[in-house]
Structure 1
Amino acid sequence: MAQRAQGPSFVRDVADPEVADAQRYGGKASGLSRMMSAGVPAPPAFVIGADGFRHFRSNGGSLGQDMMTEVANGLRRLEAATGRTFGGVDRPLLVSVRSGAAVSMPGMMDTILNLGLTARSALAVAEASGGARFALDTWLRFWRMFHDTVLNLDPTELVEAVREAVRDALAAPSLQTFEALERAILAHAEQQGETVSADPMGQLELAIAAVFRSWDSPRAKAYRAHHGISDDLGTAVTIQAMVFGNADEESGSGVAFTRNPNDGARTLYGEYLVGRQGEDLVAGTHSPIDLSDPDGMNSTLRTGLIEIGASLETLYRDAVDIEFTVESGRLYMLQVRPAKRTAAAAVRIAAELAAEGVIDAREALNRITVEQIRKLSRPSFEEADLVAAKLLAQGLGSSPGHAHGAAILDSDRAAEAAAKGEDVILVRPTTSPKDIRGMLSAHGVVTATGGALSHAAVVSRALDKPCIVGCEAIGIDLSGRTFTISGETFREGDEISIDGGSGKIYAGALRLRAGGASRAALERLLGLADAESGSSVWIAPRGAAEAIDSAAQAAPGLAVVRLTDLITSHGAIDAYAGLISRLGDQPGVPGLENDIAAIVRESSAALFEAARGLPVHVRLSRISSDRARRLIENWTEIPANLFMPLGSKAFFRALLRGLSDAARSAAHGDVRALIGNIVDAREAESFRSLTADVGLGAGAIIQNAIGLKQAGEIARHCDTVWVDVSETIRTAYGFPTEVVHADGTIDRYAADGFLGDNPFEQPAPFLTEWLQSVATLPQSSRKTTVGVDFTSGFSPILATRLHHMGFRRFAVSPAHRDEMRLILAQRSGE
């Protein structure tokens, strides 16, 4: 029966239900307490709580008499539970002294095992077990750890100093040889300037103090700083009766996971070391049994371990890892905690626990982080390849992600190579709008010059492609189709690999670990996310290849597909720009509309074929856009009326006819054309008339504040309204496009105190009011659907705010879709 101390007390038996409070008594003791309550076999123990640590620290590093009296009382209870005596000769009680903070800090804190032996009791163990080797191994393990942890002395020097005394004790076990070994151990410590006692109680006091002190060790402080763990938490100390994995050949130590921590499979995983203690397993000096091998471990023990693991999973409602010891065929659990796991395993375990009814959907979703979703959604280099890779150069990482491919120095050649199925990295001195075809087709971009606001950086971030800029170590010979790095010459087509986060460029094609390796489990989990948030997250692809790839994903639809990107990917952008130029000069030229329609039809045909059965919303080209300004040679000479959203009906008739012809050829019945930048219901009504003539649906993209205010009127004439929220905010505040696409620029500007709020997190009150009115449109007009377009910039905080307003349809790039779905679900209840 657990005894509960009266009055102020630092010590509790772990069987006390109060010890389940990990904040006060640490994860180790909490786990033991919960196991004991569930009837799981575990050696008895008591714990000094974190309050004891704070007392120790405020008491000048002294435990004090009151605490040691409580420790002595705890030892008497262990003696009663085990039938052994601490410091006694016959059946001595040995204990472990382990740290146990509320937050796991693996390897950072100190532990002492096998404390409680003297020369006399060690000899008694040798005589009772039938051999001196076990007794001496157990005793010397303690002294090595004590020297290292408590005395801060080199344990290898101790081993060397007492080698002869150990040999004598093994050869002729007797009180004389064991006492000689004890004298040699104490003498070595004294020679190093440390006075120690052979008394186990004195050793225990020093060991507890050493474990407390380890909380403030440099390595523990560095770990907490890195992981954001408070220094004020402190640590508990658990004192537990020892069981011995090195007792005989029917003994051993191991660590088991109830599910594979690498992939999440529901199978026993871990290692077991016969005839050894746990520190041997950690040290890796002996070859263990693989627990995933059903024949590797004694079948009775394995069955017991699986059954206990299942009960602990039920108790923790999670996959767990268990530290266990087998002593002479009897299984003991020493520690349990939620298992560390990879991102892939985390997703699968959460999804399967929800499917098994162990946890509900919300808890399953809250166990996954956005960073884990990113890891699974984006490919990354194989670790083995990365370790052996040859680093060529490093520039400024301006858009994260990993990619490999043939280095191509010309955008048109890059697009042509990509069209043949080759992986391509576009390498240029710098980029301009004329390189957009190559940038759309390439897996990544590298430039020799430029900074965070360069064209390459801004566009790559918008496209969600890895990009490195300002890599001055690269010399590019465009005419010779070669480039040099640190004196080494490469030919166009040579393979390179890039890390757009770190800015590192590697030789050769490093293998990519597919982001979709756990796609089935991830989709199950994200299906729960969609149900939890009530949201529909569409894909907004850039370029034909990404659009066609996106069509294969299980998305509700493809939204805001830029027609100009499709034409660019098709290699017809120059011809298209030329036709627009002629349209401005000679709007009545016969056949001009037909030529434009033909380019649109040919550029969009493959997308509609691939996306048959999915709704597709295509964003029409705008002659007034920044891209048009750079692509159309006589842009400044184009009549002003063509810059208005519907300033040229001939132009829009051609675009719509081309889309309609392509959709009809592909038997695609759900294509909507989106007109941008309109602000008035009459514009929407006129556009609706144009789309109706060719059998397409009509939609609007709201891109400015006045359009947002008039969205209710505009929606009366549209099937769909998408709010380009980033562009609307940008134009309302007058921010340049380049600044908006530069990661962190507005964040830093607001943090510096130049803005009261970051508008991409908290828009101005008038914008918030108008956004709120748009969010309620579906309630007043059943035929119109509304959504938020995040292709101009993704802000999780703003997305959450808009979801709370009532928006339920969102469009994001393929790279952001998974994290968006998780974020909306996790924050839907806030």
Structure 2
Amino acid sequence: MPAKKAKKATKKAAKRKSASAVKYSYDFGQKTDGSSKLRELLGGKGANLAEMARIGLPVPPGFTITTEVCTYFYDNGRQYPKTLEKEVKASVAQIEKEVGKKLGADKNPLLLSVRSGARESMPGMMDTILNLGLNDKTVKALASESGNEAFAYDCYRRFIQMYGDVVMGVQAVNENDHCPFESCLEKLREEAGVKLDNELTAEDLKELIKRYKAIIKKRTGTAFPQDAYEQLWGSIGAVFNSWQNERAILYRQKYGIPAAWGTAVNVQAMVFGNMGDNCATGVAFTRDPANGEKVFYGEYLINAQGEDVVAGIRTPNAIAQLKEEMPKAHADLEAVRKKLEKHFKDMQDFEFTVENGKLWMLQTRNGKRTGLAAVRIAVELVKEKLIDQKTALKKIPADSISSLLVAVFDPAAVKKAKVLTTGLPAGPGAAAGKICFTAPDAEAVAAKGGHAILCRVETTPEDLRGMIAADGILTSRGGVSSHAALVARQMNKVCVCGASEVVINYANETLTIGDKTFKNGDDISIDGTTGEIFAGAVDTAPSEVDQVLNGKLKAEDSYTFQMYDQVMKWADKHRKLGVRTNADSPDQAASAIAYGAEGIGLCRTEHMFFEGDRITFMRQMILASDEAERRKALKKLLPFQRKDFNGLFKAMGGLPVTVRLLDPPLHEFLPHDESSKRELANSLGVDIDVISNRVHALHESNPMLGHRGCRLGISYPEITEMQARAIFEAAAACYKLKKPIKVIPEVMIPLVGFADELKNQVAVVHRVAAEVMEKKKVQFKYLVGTMIEVPRGALTADEVAETAEFFSFGTNDLTQTGLGMSRDDAGTFLGKYKDLDILPQNPFASIDAAGVGQLVEIGAKKGRSTKKDLKLGICGEHGGDPASIEFFHSVGLDYVSCSPPRVPVARLAAAQAALK
């Protein structure tokens, strides 16, 4: 949740709490207090129950205890507001009035359900109680009045089991202890000689209830409560307590739901799908949630309660079959389906019960869906004139668009494959190939037309050649912001990181997972969307979108592409932020342009030094004893760099290209193992001690904070000079083509913290530019700017802007330096920080708006205080994160830059930010 929204919500809640009379219970039914507009207060379920009641759908009456009570509950030692008890009794009385039944009565007893209801749907994460109000007396009344003794005692045993588990804490003692209630039920079914619960007789169920009560007494030392109001308050407390259970916390962390939001509690009159064969219960969707097709989709069970459908004890029937078994109920559901979509203007996921032939609606919510379904539903709702373009754009989670672009495993092949283990899904898609432990191995496989999976404990820039050659990357260490993940995403490579069960032995060239050992050259498959790792080669297929973009499929033959293209056109129409890409090669640039990139926001030149003989010349330069030797080696590198930039400029066709000068410390280019050192010594004709001594001399205690970025250029201006010359000579060549390309290079000086650092480097760049233009007899425009990636650079941005012509915020390093956290090492404690809500999300994946974000905002404001029209961009990994993009839009940046496959996500997220 963005900081501004959280602040606004807190103020709103504080204002309500300061009011003299705060309402904590909202009724729905014949008397309805709430509506869908009160989602923050009533939670999604409560707000939608009230809304369904308002539009005349058959909803059992009930009431919602607000999310503010949950906040109060946790802020006040798990106590309730003083007025809540009175409000709850009044709301129960309203239900009693509407249904003509009374809670706890010996005749015509009212039974209730108690369910959670957070603002955002969290299916299955919190606790539910059904059939509340049953006791040894009311069960007899229910049996008599329903004329169905088995039904009544079935409800009672369900209630005792739920209440005993959720409220009284009767659970398995350890992982070897089966659920005591389920064990008891299984044993009774065996004794009765039946397979299904609904085959148990009333006498069987009475015996089961006795055994259930005995379990509760033995395990808790307390008898099952007979007072209905004691049951009600116990259930309400259990739901509030479940907001902080382990599965709810994990779910909130995964989907970024703040703990401060709390949950509401919904109390509702029971209706019964288990009274006989003219009763049913089910879950349905107004459209197919997997592919978005407009078909009635769902499941139901005859003579069952809601939990039976999801528990898997009985196999549910497809909703289409209900037309044969209960034609009236099916027709009623079809009418409800249409009314729900027309009113809520989105695909709905709803629960229903049929009691003696009458349909009741128990819940509706915007249905969870795949990325493909999200896009299809939004596009088709516009075609059906239920929503407009702007609404459609806001309904599609920006990350959903990426699921239309990635290669996938063939579903039939996956069913036959064996999952070995699971790591972190770091680069979406599917890849299968030969296990390769080194970059040369991966290159050798690729050179023969094969497919490689580069398997490393963790990757470094030295592995880049192998990463380029491989179809996928697998590491046993590192997180989703590790080197492997960052580069993989930029190159659109499938990547699984941090697969801790994977043991890689470089010496033996083996990869071991459990009792399975694989050798160099064996086949393996990885799914970067799920993190799964498979034995053998699982067949893959490219996405339809990529097939169209690559000319292998006609657009008119792919409905998926047509939907993708429509959404992208809408996004471009409404967004304000520009979207560039991070790319180092013509292939990456071409891929990004196909995805809609408007330029290159970051070309990392260090990646260009690892191909072919270049690394040798680079190492010669590093090992040089004086400037003359360095210049000699740099002269050999110049043609390679010039050729690279020329290819990049041509691929971009005149779109802006921001080139970052050399950034990493020099030791990263040198070998560190003895065999590689010896190989380098032999190739250079020097003693191995020369190599070892230089490696030792360049070693830094903390290279993140050491001799890198502009500090290298200041120490060795000849490096800056060579790179600038390569850039400008490549640009000059583009101007002299038969069809000139008017390149405007943007030269970016990295790691500037002092204005004079930038002045020093800019002087070198201007001098070289003048020399090249004079020599080549051509005039061209260019910009020189800086990467704001250390706090001092942001805090003194007004001074830096006197020289800079643009800023690009390097939020990867700005996060590291701003928080004092290493993105590669933070994984050891980030999990605990998220558990404790110290950090709501990984700050390397989504910008820390309240902290690091302030540095960006300060840098932007100060920079523009000096130069009103200063161009501002961001080229860190956050440039492809939707939540971060919303923040960058709010502080007035001109563009974001991200890896090629994230470009469509950024385009959509930028439009959503503008529409908010």
Alignment TM-score, normalising by the size of structure 2: 0.64
Change (3 A) 1:270 1:653: closer
- How far does residue 38 in structure 1 lie from its aligned partner after superposition? 0.7
Separation of aligned partners in 2, 1:574 and 1:269: 58
Partner of 1:225: 249
**What amino acid does structure 1 have at the position aligned with 2:51?**
R
Indicate if the aligned counterparts of 2:510 and 2:517 stay in contact, CA closer than 8 A: yes
Q: Which letter does structure 1 place at the counterpart of 2:293?
A: A
- Please say if 1:238 is aligned against 2:267: yes
The one of 233, 246, 253 aligned to 2:281: 253
Distance 1:452 1:158 in 2: 45
1:622 Cα offset (Å):
6.5
Partner residue, 1:573: 614
Cα drift, residue 696 of structure 1: 7.0
Q: Any idea what SS the aligned residue of 2:346 has? A: coil
Taking structure 1 as reference, are residues 93 and 239 closer, same or farther at Cα in structure 2, changes over 3 Å only? same
**Residue type of the alignment partner of 2:161:** D
Q: Give the SS at the match of 1:679.
A: helix
Aligned partners of 1:616 and 1:671 also within 8 Å: yes
Q: In 2, Cα distance between the equivalents of 1:302 and 1:676?
A: 65
In 2 relative to 1, CA 525–709 (structure 1 residues): closer, same or farther, beyond 3 Å? farther
Q: Find the residue that maps to 1:336 and give its secondary structure.
A: strand
2: CA distance between counterparts of 1:653 and 1:180?
Answer: 88
**1:588-619 CA distances to partner (integer Å, 9 max, x unpaired)?**
99xx99x97699559966x788x486736374
**Matched AA of 1:615:** L
**Superposition deviation, residue 762 in structure 1:** 0.3
Q: What RMSD over aligned residues (CA atoms) do the two structures have, in Å? A: 6.3
Is the CA contact (8 Å cut-off) linking 1:146 and 1:207 kept in structure 2?
Answer: no
Q: Secondary structure at the match of 2:309?
A: helix
Give 1:222-371 correspondences, 5 Å limit. 222-226=246-250, 227=252, 230=259, 233=262, 235-240=264-269, 242-246=270-274, 249-291=277-319, 301-350=329-378, 352-353=380-381, 358=386, 364=392, 367=395
**Take 2:418 and 2:190, find their aligned partners in 1: how far apart are those partners?**
45
CA offsets 1:491-524 (integer angstroms, 9 cap, x no match): 4332234688999976434667978887765554
Q: For 1:762, what is the secondary structure of its paired residue?
A: helix
Q: Distance in 2 between matches of 1:333 and 1:181?
A: 28
Establish whether residue 546 from structure 1 lines up as the match of residue 576 from structure 2.
no
Q: Which of residues 99, 108, 127 in structure 1 aligns to 2:115?
A: 99
2:97 is aligned with 1:77: yes
SS in 1 for 2:591: helix
Answer whether contact 2:661 2:720 (CA < 8 A) is retained. no
Give the match's secondary structure for 1:215. Answer: helix
- Aligned with 1:18: secondary structure? coil
Residue correspondences, number: 765
Higher alpha-carbon deviation: 290-299 or 312-321: 290-299
Q: Deviations over 1:43-100 (max 9, x none)?
A: 44466777999899988999999679647743552345x9x999687xx576443324
1:623–1:179: structure 2 CA closer, same or farther, 3 Å change rule? closer
Q: Using the alignment, how far apart are the partners of 1:405 and 1:312 within structure 2?
A: 47
Number of the residue aligned with 1:536: 578
- 2:160–2:209 contact (8 Å) kept in structure 1: no
| 8 Å CA contact 1:190, 1:196 repeated in 2 | no
Structure 2 partner of 1:18 = 33
CA contact (8 A) 1:50 1:233 kept: yes
Cα distance in 1 for partners of 2:374, 2:496 equals: 29
Q: Deviation at 1:268?
A: 1.8
What is the distance in 1 between the residues matched to 2:901 and 2:348?
31
Instruction: Compare 262-271 and 758-767 and name the one that shifted more.
Output: 758-767
- 8 Å CA contact 1:432–1:455 kept in 2: the answer is yes
1:725 paired with 2:753, answer no
What's 2:55 paired with?
38
1:420-435 matches, within 5 Å, as 422-427=450-455, 435=463
The 5 A counterparts of 1:448-597 are 466=495, 473-477=503-507, 482-483=509-510, 485=512, 490-497=518-525, 507-509=535-537, 521=563, 524-525=566-567, 527-558=569-600, 560-561=602-603, 565=607, 571=612, 573=614
CA distance in 2, matches of 1:232, 1:400: 31
* 1:25-52 deviation digits (Å, cap 9, x = unpaired): 6654543332222122334446677799
2: CA distance, partners of 1:314 / 1:490 = 55
Contact 2:811-2:876 within 8 A present in 1 as well: no
Q: What is the match of residue 438 of structure 1?
A: 466
Partner Cα distance (1:332, 1:532) in 2? 41
Instruction: State whether residues 409 and 541 of structure 2, in contact with CA within 8 Å, keep that contact through their aligned partners in structure 1.
Output: yes
Name the CA shift for 1:37/1:467 in 2 (closer, same or farther; >3 Å): closer
Matches within 5 A, 1:708-719: none
Whether 1:788 and 2:866 are equivalent positions in the alignment is no
For residues 275 and 798 of structure 1, do their structure 2 counterparts lie closer, same or farther at Cα, with a shift above 3 Å needed?
closer
Check 1:505–1:728 CA distance in 2 against 1; reply closer, same or farther (3 A cut): closer
Q: Could you say which residue in structure 1 is the equivalent of 2:862? A: 769
Cα separation, partners in 2 of 1:461 and 1:683, compared to 1, 3 Å: farther
2:128 to 90, 110, 132: 110
Consecutive unaligned residues of structure 1, counting only runs of 5 or more, are 1-5, 127-134, 168-176, 716-721, 778-785
Q: Does structure 1 conserve the Cα–Cα contact (< 8 Å) formed by 2:62 and 2:267?
A: yes
Matched residue SS, 1:112: strand
Pair 1:617-2:657 in alignment: yes
SS of the equivalent of 2:762 reads: coil
d(CA) in 2 for partners of 1:52, 1:787 = 44
Query: Does the CA-based 8 Å contact 1:145-1:155 persist in structure 2?
Result: no
Normalized against structure 1, the TM-score is what?
A: 0.69
Q: Percent identity?
A: 21
Deviates more, 1:432-441 or 1:379-388: 379-388
Secondary structure, aligned partner of 2:810: helix
Q: Which amino acid in structure 2 is aligned with residue 38 of structure 1?
A: I
Q: Deviations over 1:224-256 (max 9, x none)?
A: 43326658956535232x544455655432221
Amino acid of the residue matched to residue 53 of structure 2?
M
Higher alpha-carbon deviation: 54-63 or 426-435? 54-63
Contact 1:165–1:184, Cα closer than 8 Å, also in 2 = no
State the Cα distance separating 1:807 from its structure 2 match: 3.5
In structure 1, how many angstroms separate the alpha carbons of the residues matched to 2:396 and 2:441? Answer: 42
| C-alpha contact (below 8 Å) 1:529/1:825 kept by paired residues | yes
Q: For 2:506 and 2:801, how far apart are their aligned partners in 1?
A: 50
Preserved contact between residue 536 and residue 809 of structure 1 (Cα < 8 Å): yes
Give the match's secondary structure for 2:294. Answer: coil
Residue 812 (structure 1) aligned with residue 895 (structure 2): no
Structure 2 Cα separation of the partners of residues 735 and 47 of structure 1: 46
Question: What are the Cα deviations for residues 364-417 of structure 1, in whole angstroms up to 9, with x where unaligned?
Answer: 5555556656766766889995996454898xx797667543223443453354
